[in-house]
Amino acid sequence: MIPRFWRKIKYRYSLRGTHCKNCNSYFYPPRDLCPNCRRKGIIEEVNLPTCGRVLSYTVVWGEKGSPYVIALIELENKVKILSQLACRPEEVYDGMEVECTFRKYGEDGDAGIIYYGTKFIPKRGDGYVSKE
């Protein structure tokens, strides 16, 4: 099941979110409705910064396979978003600088539409040493 947002995506290589002009809140992933203003909300699509830093994080242990990291990330414009962070649980720390990466994660065979997902990765140059 592909969220409706991805069908409307306009710019593949930017981090798209929404902004409510009424209360000046930002949302990622994008939302059609502002939870603060409901029907009074005025929603517009915006490009969000693709760099930020980790405020806090959680390691999620799946039933099988390796654990993954979900981080609360503060973007450069102070917008906070939750995203999966593509690194090992022992590599993440509060304040770590991260950047957004885009990867193809699905293709619609009939229409030939390619969907992209976003993930954050440790930003290089922050003392990050990949163990891969």
Residues 39-78, interacting with Zn ion (CB under 5 A): 41
Q: How far is the CB of 126 from Zn ion (least distance, A)?
A: 34
Comparison of 15 and 34: residue with beta carbon closer to Zn ion: 34
Residue 36 touching Zn ion (CB under 5 A): yes
Comparison of 31 and 123: residue with beta carbon closer to Zn ion: 31
Neighbours of 49 (CB within 10 A): 16
Q: Is the CB of residue 37 less than 8 Å from the CB of residue 20?
A: yes
The token pair that represents 50 in the structure block: 């693709």
Q: Is the CB of residue 62 less than 8 Å from the CB of residue 39?
A: no
Question: Which of 23, 55, 60, 82 is close enough to bind Zn ion by CB under 5 A?
Answer: 23
The amino acid at residue 62 is G
Comparison of 37 and 86: residue with beta carbon closer to Zn ion: 37
Taking the alpha carbons at both ends of the chain, their separation in whole angstroms is 32
Comparison of 34 and 81: residue with beta carbon closer to Zn ion: 34
> Which range touches Zn ion (CB under 5 A), out of 27-35, 64-72, 74-82, 97-105?
27-35
The amino acid at residue 87 is C
